[in-house]
Amino acid sequence: MPLGFDTQLVRVRANGANQPLSEPIVLATTYSAPSAVRHREMFQDGSTTFYRRFGNPTAAAAARLIADLEGAEEGILFGSGMGAISTSLFAILRAGDHVIASREIFAQTRTLLDTTLRGYGVETEFVDARVASEVTSRIRPNTRLIYVETPSNPLLHIVDIAAIASALKPGIELYVDATFGSPALQSPIHLGATLSIHSATKFLGGHSDVLGGVASGRRELISRIRDMQILLGTVQDPHAAWLLMRGIRTLGVRVRRQAESALALARKLSSHPGVETVFYPFLEGDAGYAIASKQMRGGGGVVSFVVKGGTSASRRFADALRLIPIATSLGGVETIVELPYDLDFEADDAETGVAGSPLGGTIRMSVGLEDVSDLWADLDQALRAASVTPTV
């Protein structure tokens, strides 16, 4: 009988008496071999006890745990989310390849595809991936990869993973950046993705104290990605891997609570007179609701919204918050806000389809574990403060 999700998170893997219930941190960078022949075998077989750039027992344990949660054959850990994304892209793409990618995507992933890889002869076509046919109709003979992000950063667009996966042809990979959903709420591999990628810094770690990335998929693909990781050196530090495993133990209870609070706040924000637009996939009126409710087990812990009055009002709102700090990243136990279009992203109303909305003033809020009543009191007073136009 398959184990439940929360049981998989905390089950003890140790066998026998006097075995540690916490995975040991193996800090060694190199290991001795009993013979020259065995040393050669360790190098060729990808042993986790050869040299740290080639593998590490602590990082391997964390990768196995996440791969099990994803329902994947194998996983691999990285030093950051962008380490996971870049290494996974470089592992399969070559000059002359064609990529189809979500238009609404993490800004630095877009730069990697549209600038860095384009400079190496890889063509990326950006489309509105919310419409599956916009993706599948653009498949060419040289298409090597479809890359989507769902829910997306920062407007929480939803992509129908299964619909796109059903149109895959041999030789085409489907990478899904599933960071915003986490394995607690979404299972891209079960829906047909060939690789599920996460910035483990976010919900997987969950405590704003560890940087990491992870990719999970079929064994052959992970092997190719591992070969590229060895070349690039995008490995995870063993202590960071241990912190990541510790954070993952509470993933289920954390993410479900965050999703419940996020939905409650999204509903309140959607009826607040100081809010122009709310983006949250489990709001009944959200454009992605039908697909999100089919492929997710909750809307996630991020709510994005636009304060009436544009960028200046949104900045006044953020500055007026008393409980909630302004900070980047997401997925931690504390609620934070940022204005993403002040940072990496560029507002484009034509792409988002939000006529007249000043998306440059979008607020992205990562909801933590505080009491919802306390969060709402802070949001409400800040929205009221933002509505007051300062005198010159």
pLDDT at 257: 98
When pLDDT is averaged across residues 9-14 and rounded to a whole number, the result is 74
The lowest-confidence range among 14-18, 96-100, 215-219, 266-270 is 14-18
Res 267 pLDDT > 70: yes
Q: How many CB atoms lie within 10 A of CB 14?
A: 11
Alpha-carbon span 311 to 358, nearest angstrom: 7
User: Is pLDDT above 50 for 114?
Assistant: yes
Mutual orientation of helices 57-70 and 238-248 as an angle, nearest 10°?
Answer: 30
Question: CB of 182 within 8 A of CB of 247?
Answer: no
Other beta carbons within 10 angstroms of residue 7's beta carbon come to: 10
List domains and CATH numbers for the chain. 5-248 (3.40.640.10), 252-386 (3.90.1150.10)
The H or E element spanning position 10 is helix 5-10
* Angle ∠(64,66,70) on CA atoms, nearest 5: 115
Report the half-sphere exposure of 32 (CA within 13 A, side-chain side). Answer: 1
Which is more confidently placed, 305 or 347?
305
Residue with tokens 């087990």: 297
* pLDDT score for 352: 45
CA–CA dist 102, 35 (Å, integer)? 50
Does 204 score more than 70 pLDDT?
yes
Q: Please return the burial class of 94, using the count of CB atoms within 10 Å of its CB with bins 0-12, 13-18 and 19+.
A: exposed
pLDDT at position 390 is: 65
The pTM score is 0.94
Strand order of the β-sheet with 173-177 is 74-78, 213-217, 195-199, 173-177, 143-149, 98-102, 123-127
Is the backbone peptide bond immediately before 34 cis, with ω within 30 degrees of 0? no
Can you give the pLDDT at residue 15? 62
d(CA 364, CA 313): 14
| Percent above pLDDT 90 for the chain | 86
3-state secondary structure of 285: coil
